[in-house]
A and B are shown apart, each in its own frame.
Chain A
Amino acid sequence: MADLEYLGLTRPQKALRRLAAFLTGLPGRLGRGLLGLLRALGRLARGAWHELRDLALTFMEGDWKTRTSFFIMGFGSIARGQVMRGLLFLLFQAVFLLYMLFFGGAYLAKWGTLGDVETTRQGRVTVYGDNSFLILLYGVLTLFFVLAFLYTWRVNVRQNRISQRLQQAGKPLKTAREDVAALADSQFHKTLLALPTLGIFLFTIVPIVFMVLVAFTNYDYNHQPPGKLFTWVGLSNFRTMLSAGSANYGSTFSQVLLWTLIWAFFATFLNYFLGMMVAIMINKKGIRLKKLWRTILVMTIAIPQFVSLLYVSKMFAADGLINSYLMKWGWISEALPFWTNPTWARVTIIVINIWIGIPYLMLIATGILMNIPADLYESARIDGANAVQMYGKITLPYMLFVTGPYLLTSFIGNINNFNVIFLLSGGGPMSMELGGNAGYTDLLITWLYKMTVNNTDYKMAAVIGIIVFVVTALINVVVYNMIPSVKHEEDFQ
């Protein structure tokens, strides 16, 4: 379609056209994505082949120092005078071997079955057998340690090759002092990232991988360590989730998912627009006491949610303050069903969330509004634009442009907004129309929390966790790449 033709269309037509273009482009994009994946796999295979060849060459062309380093890490470095480096390599190897010998090895060895020694009783004394949970968890930990070791070993070998070549060329090797100095300069990113990376690996990646693996086991009420074993079951949990029959999981799941998305939508966009409105009101010329208004609103950020939300939740209860006073004043004769009627509960939660959310948005919008060049408004005013038009043509587009990424992260954040639901309604009210312990205000995340705490149903919780991940990832992939300010990260700087 010609550009001119497109420009001639009305707004809704344009939107439709863009949507159609997006949809028709989707197969192509998916295809390209698939191709990209294949290409990446190809690259990976080539890379692996390259690495292996390089390893073989290093060994064959290497001197005795290099060759010994294949077995005793850091030997070459020490022999070539880079004592500090070598010792570090050696230390790492020693730690790894000790770890495998006294801790990790045993767990990894049982990974295939997740343990086969049952817990037994001798008289009334318990003799504990294998603990499937710990085998799985420490197995994951050990696996990552093995990968880290392989990587370090590879680095150690490569260093030997480089050093050997440098020495053959008669060039000096780096001294320990130079190594340390590099860490504050050319290798500064490694220094800064070392601890955060370790932390993220140990306390984010390992647990996540563990939980993903749980989805493929039968870890539930009937298979709880340390008394009992659990084991791999393949994809059967996913089948249970998708089959409509058992325990109503399928239909409940779609219900909960739908509400999660509705909630995330309102919690994000309603707050966004209302927060912006409040910011515009406060920042309007001629409004006094700007600081006071802002300060009052910001109270909800300053006070921990477990205090404010728990309190507000009780305020809205059937016998809470709000109903009591409304009845005392004779405005209502029966308590308003804030938490007992599904629709009321959902609306109440969204409204209370406005109370929490507006202040953040107000602050953000205030900062951004101040950044909008004043001459834009000035020229608009000269052209005779009124307040609404200026808002639609200048304020909103500008805001949307700069806060695109924020909107996305906050949407994702709201999908996983545990606190608000947990503290306000606890997921209720429930209904026989929903299965698996879910209530009408349950988000996927509060639902799976209940599943683990009340029902010890870790396998299903893990399945739902994976699905939540897939949903958010999809939203991210679709939306993230459409945000202009992300595409042009470098331009922005």
Chain B
Amino acid sequence: MAKRDAIPEVETYIDHQAGVIREVQPPAPRSKKAAERRANRAIYTALVIISVVWLAPFLFLVLQSFRSYLTEDGGMVSYLVPKAFSLDNYRFLFEDGRYLRWYTNTLTIALFVSVLQTGMVLSVSYVLSRMRFRGRRFIMNMILVLGMFPGFLTLIALYFLLKQFGLTQEGAIPGLILIYVASSGMGYYISKGFFDTIPKSLDESARIDGATRFYVFRRIIMPLSKPIVIYTILMGFMAPWGDYVFASYVAFGKSDSYNVAVGLYRWVNTLDFQGYFTRFCAGGVLVAIPITILFFLLQRYYVEGVTGGAVKG
């Protein structure tokens, strides 16, 4: 792009209202504006296509959940829009006790995990971010190393550990909560990254004034950490909804102890259940609704949390 070597002539006009002389803004070169518009149009096209691709599966899921398993076909079909819209699948979910049971199980787990896990994660990340003590590096390295071991292998060992405490089968719900929470301190990275961004001078001045560490944590850091607290709660709440493998291990054939993932997975992948596909869709929609709403309400915090964490590692 050539630099303008001459000072362009400037047209002026008098703004009577303000009582000043203003420049008339020279129109931007036409070609540049057109290019800009073309680029924007391309971007809009791309975004629309992306949106369609992103939303389509969910739209399909919702559509199929309205296909009656009683009067139409509960399995998979080669068409998308049901011949008649019906709420049979949803009615089934509410009238058949199982699904509600699984749903409450998962909700219970999610609520407990979100609170307890937040406590664990914030404790660990606060300590690792704010305090310097012997063994700090060791703990961080240890957690890094442990994270590299494929966790699935330990399922069977975990199952028998839980069983020793009576936390399988009938006790699967507290058992799962315990497992999810117990090791959650290892996921400290993101919130540590967030704490790192809070200036240390804040605590130091408070410490000089005689505040204890606990006081600094409660009264100074926590109030500043709303985004990360909400982020951690949100993550803790969302994770239990998707766990299939471990939840099915711990429930061990006790269908009252299933979470929704295990229950619904069995509906579509076991020969016992024929014609449950649309009910699976409806069940999936019911699971997605609260999480989606919650997520959208708290999206801002999610972005802040995940950004801070990724930046800091």
Contacts and interface: CB of A to CB of B under 8 A. Distances in A.
Q: Do A's and B's CB atoms come within 8 Å in the complex?
A: yes
B60 interface: yes
A298 to B, nearest CB: 7
B78 A324 contact: yes
A304 B291 contact: yes
B54 A367 contact: no
Contacts of A202: 161, 182
Contacts of A493: 196, 200
A278 B43 CA distance: 9
Given A189-B133, A293-B51, A363-B307, A284 B296 contact: no
Contacts of B143: 200
Q: Report, as a range, how many residues of chain B touch the other chain.
A: 35 or more
Contact of B146 (A192, A204, A403, A408): A204
Contact of B78 (A319, A363, A409): A319
Interface string B219-260: 000000000000000000010011011000000000000000
Interface in A447-493: 448-449, 452, 458, 461-462, 465, 468-469, 472-473, 476, 483, 485-486, 492-493
Nearest to B64: A311
Contacts of B204: none
A467 to B, nearest CB: 10
Interface stretch (A30-38, A148-156, A206-214, A261-269): A206-214
B126 interface: yes
A199 interface: yes
B144 interface: yes
Contacts of B183: 199-200, 203-204
A366 interface: yes
B291 to A, nearest CB: 5
A44 interface: no
Nearest to B215: A184
A259 B196 CA distance: 37
Contact of B242 (A206, A306, A319): A306
A295 B299 contact: yes
Contact of B153 (A197, A412, A462): A462
A376 interface: no
Contact of A299 (B124, B149, B181, B292): B292
Contact of A465 (B153, B214, B311): B153
A414 to B, nearest CB: 13
Interface of A is mostly: helix
B313 A485 contact: yes
Interface string B73-117: 000101110000000000000000000000000000000000000
B158 A207 contact: yes
B55 A200 contact: no
A302 B131 contact: no
Interface in A407-450: 408-409, 412, 416, 418-419, 422, 444-445, 448-449
Nearest to A480: B144
A364 B306 contact: yes
A468 B295 contact: no
B55 A363 contact: no
A297 B58 CA distance: 12
A193 B124 contact: yes
A405 B158 CA distance: 30
B14 interface: no
A452 B159 CA distance: 14
Interface centre among A137, A210, A306 (most CB of B within 10 A): A306
A192 B150 contact: no
A384 interface: yes
Nearest to A493: B196
A199 B80 contact: no
Q: Report, as a range, how many residues of chain A touch the other chain.
A: 35 or more
A205 B126 CA distance: 22
Contacts of A186: 213
Nearest to A324: B78
A282 to B, nearest CB: 7
Interface string A314-339: 11000111001100100000000000
Contact of A355 (B53, B268, B277): B53
B166 interface: no
Contact of B185 (A189, A200, A282, A321): A200
Given A278-B50, A308-B57, A469-B148, A188 B212 contact: yes
A185 B151 contact: no
A382 to B, nearest CB: 9
A211 B157 contact: yes
B78 A188 contact: no
A458 B153 CA distance: 9
A404 interface: yes
Contacts of B291: 302-304
Interface in A37-69: none
A297 B310 contact: no
A295 B296 contact: yes
A200 B158 CA distance: 12
**What 9 pairs across the A-B complex have the smallest Cβ distances?**
A405-B313, A367-B307, A196-B185, A199-B182, A207-B154, A307-B284, A188-B213, A324-B78, A184-B214
24 contacts: A186-B213, A188-B127, A188-B131, A199-B120, A200-B182, A204-B186, A208-B153, A287-B44, A298-B299, A299-B58, A300-B54, A302-B294, A303-B292, A312-B57, A325-B78, A355-B53, A363-B302, A367-B308, A405-B310, A406-B309, A408-B313, A472-B148, A485-B313, A492-B312
Given A281-B46, A304-B291, A324-B78, 5 more contacts: A193-B139, A211-B157, A302-B296, A303-B291, A405-B310
Interface of A: 133-134, 137-138, 141, 181, 184-186, 188-189, 191-193, 195-197, 199-200, 202-208, 210-211, 278, 281-282, 284, 286-287, 293-308, 310-312, 314-315, 319-321, 324-325, 328, 355, 360, 363-364, 366-368, 371, 384, 402-406, 408-409, 412, 416, 418-419, 422, 444-445, 448-449, 452, 458, 461-462, 465, 468-469, 472-473, 476, 483, 485-486, 492-493
